[in-house]
Amino acid sequence: MTDQAIKSADDHFDIKDVERRIKAIFIGSIGNLVEWYDFYAYTAFALYFAPAFFPNSDPVVQQLNAAVLFAATFLMRPLGGWLFGFIADRHGRRLSLTLSVVCMCFGSLIIAVTPTYATIGIAAPAILALARIIEGLSLGGEYGASATYLTEVADPRHRGFYSSFQYVTLIGGQLTAIMVLLLLQKVFLTPEQLKDWGWRIPFVIGALLAIFAAVMRRNLHETEAFEEAKKVSKPSGSIRGLLKYPRELLLVVGLTAGGTAAFYTFTTYMQTFVKLSVGLTEDQTTFVIFGSLIFATVLQPIYGGLSDRIGRKPLLIFFGVAGTLATVPILTTLKDTKSPFTAFLLICAAWIFVAGYTSINAVVKAELFPTNIRALGVGLPYAITVSLFGGTAPAVALYFKTLGHEDWFYYYLSGMIFLSLIIYATMRDTKHASVMHRHE
């Protein structure tokens, strides 16, 4: 074969390889988007369905009840992180990803058909809690398996860029939920219809999308890293195997604590904050959150690609320093403004530093663990930390608000970010010290 023929064959192979990677990342990411759409539909439509499940004349109390249930479902995420992490490390990433999205489908269907408090009394919020528990179980497993899959399927030079699409689609799920909300609000239904029965529509849509995503995920190819690990070592996924890495486990907890509190503050809680505390109308609230999330989505691959050039650690330190210093001023100014455009700019300003965590947190954690324990190592400690500090953020904020000291939450969040900053400053840069290709 001539040199030219060899070059052409190599180029052809490279093109096919890139196409295969992009297709795998697209399918894996679409499933992630659907799962997070289902999960965030709860938050996007909470203002409409909260009175149906938690009757109370005080809207703050209604939202607090909904937020407490939102936080309670996070208690299932560690169990999901263990279960689906075990499946991913023992039986493959593809199976785990498929099962997790099927689980989310059932949760959405239950919410869609649950009668209200006026119809079946206390059983209504109880069934709602069951559905949210199922969704929490699903998401607990989705993160570890998805982060592992996207990181393993990417080529080493662009691992940060490709893995950033986990949060592109994660935020995209919330954007999709808001788009459905806007369409129902502005085009198809009146406010009364939304409060009566229209809030069920997004959960039906979510269940159907989950079925579609599950079918797509069944056709995903398994990662080469997992297949190679099966040949040279026993599949693991056990807690005993995970405990061999105590330093890495503690690192995941420290990496996540401040970042997850910030993420859930500027996504999940922001919709409630700008409506109840800032005083914007429902329409203004929806457009402000929608616009800021688009900005956040654009930042993810930019920061992810930047981490492939300069390393992961500088971005994490940037988030830690900026988040510690700027959180209190941003939230204080945001509460005092009455301008939707100013509110939009302030939330975008927060995303400039929050994206330093969200864009690369998946790849950093995946680079800490060898192949045969990676999904469990990423998913379980992450799920525990998110349950403690992420899912509770809206409830903590609303609790301080009911006490009349909403500003206490600003300092709480700033303190959480500072604690993570200590970890960022003392850890090694995983881009230069990765164990991605190691098998135990």
pLDDT score recorded for residue 333:
93
Contact 101, 89 (CB under 8 A): no
pLDDT score recorded for residue 276:
79
367-393 per-position pLDDT tens digit: 888 888 888 888 889 888 988 888 778
Contact 285, 181 (CB under 8 A): no
- Share of residues in the chain with pLDDT > 90 (%): 22
What is the rounded CA–CA span in Å between residue 262 and residue 202?
A: 26
Q: Is pLDDT larger for residue 71 or for residue 76?
A: 76
73-93 per-position pLDDT tens digit: 677 888 888 888 888 888 888
Give the CB-side neighbour count of residue 206, counting CA atoms within 13 A: 39
What is the rounded CA–CA span in Å between residue 95 and residue 220?
A: 9
The residue among 386, 398, 390, 289 whose CA lies nearest residue 65 is 398
**pLDDT category, 11, cuts 50, 70, 90?**
very low
CATH architecture of 26-217+245-426: Up-down Bundle (1.20)
**pLDDT category, 61, cuts 50, 70, 90?**
low
pLDDT score recorded for residue 153:
81
Residue 17, token pair as written in the block: 């390889």
DSSP string, 150-176: HHHHS-GGGHHHHHTHHHHHHHHHHHH
Residue type, 185: Q
**pLDDT category, 342, cuts 50, 70, 90?**
very high
Q: Cα(first)–Cα(last) distance of the chain, in Å?
A: 40
Residue found by looking up tokens 């990765």 in the block: 434
| Domain definitions of the chain by residue range | 26-217+245-426
The residue among 427, 60, 71, 435 whose CA lies nearest residue 275 is 60
237-294 per-position pLDDT tens digit: 677 878 888 898 999 999 999 999 999 899 878 888 888 777 788 778 888 988 999 9
Cα R_g (the chain), whole angstroms = 21
22-50 per-position pLDDT tens digit: 777 777 777 778 877 877 787 778 778 77
pLDDT score recorded for residue 296:
95
CB contact set of 366 (below 8 Å; sequence gap of 6+): 147, 148, 151, 152, 163, 374, 378, 436
What is the rounded CA–CA span in Å between residue 118 and residue 344?
A: 37
What is the rounded CA–CA span in Å between residue 304 and residue 357?
A: 10
What is the rounded CA–CA span in Å between residue 412 and residue 405?
A: 12
